[in-house]
Structure 1
């Protein structure tokens, strides 16, 4: 989709929600997970979407698919990239580069239970954004990324219970 199409779509939706705020509240599509075998799990969405996870062999899995934790990081990376691209389109900024990397640091003892108070989830997430747009000041790109992060649904869900650090790299 072109930046003009994205900008027009966002503007139309914002105008609709301003006139009909009740339409902005919706139930999100569910994901239903089942264990296929061992620690290999399959989540299915309402339109047949499928997401497979497995745990590494060291913890008893088969290592046949990414872990749910990797999908969490991928979801944040994709969601932030989407929001950055949407905001750039809204502002008429033509991006020549956009890459969002999310990694984390974990205490894996948390997977085994309450071992010395280690949490089961990540201790922290870090986000690195590589972004470039010819002729656009760096300060504008920083603003764009910060706006997108503040409006990222996945980022918001994580930030309300987990601190997320952002490292923005231009170019």
Structure 2
């Protein structure tokens, strides 16, 4: 059993796939360039009789995320347009899977449910730039992990 992680077990950040399900349509978001979903716990201070320090008690959580995509799909602009025209705010799901065939960690899949975009850039250009990109910030209301990385040899 190794005492250190083997280099081959680092999971390549490039070997991922992303799917977005909006109003029953499932899109492979091959335009994806970068993705991050955060889980933030809200804690309240707890005064404890008999000690000078305060404790911390988690009371709730919130989910936020961001992704950068190449701006060559209308799906996120369409969400903003629909809200502008009708007042209907659309919620959607995002599924991310990471799997590097070289790594013993295996495959991890996370599904973020009830995603809702915060807004976004509708159009842009950059005379010095290389490619059109779009940053999409969002919140999510739930998540699940149907597939998780394995515990590597030597961790336990």
Normalised by the size of structure 2, how large is the TM-score?
A: 0.29
The answer to which structure has the higher strand fraction is 2
Structure ranking higher on relative contact order (CA contacts 8 Å, 6+ apart): 2
The answer to which structure has the higher helix fraction is 1
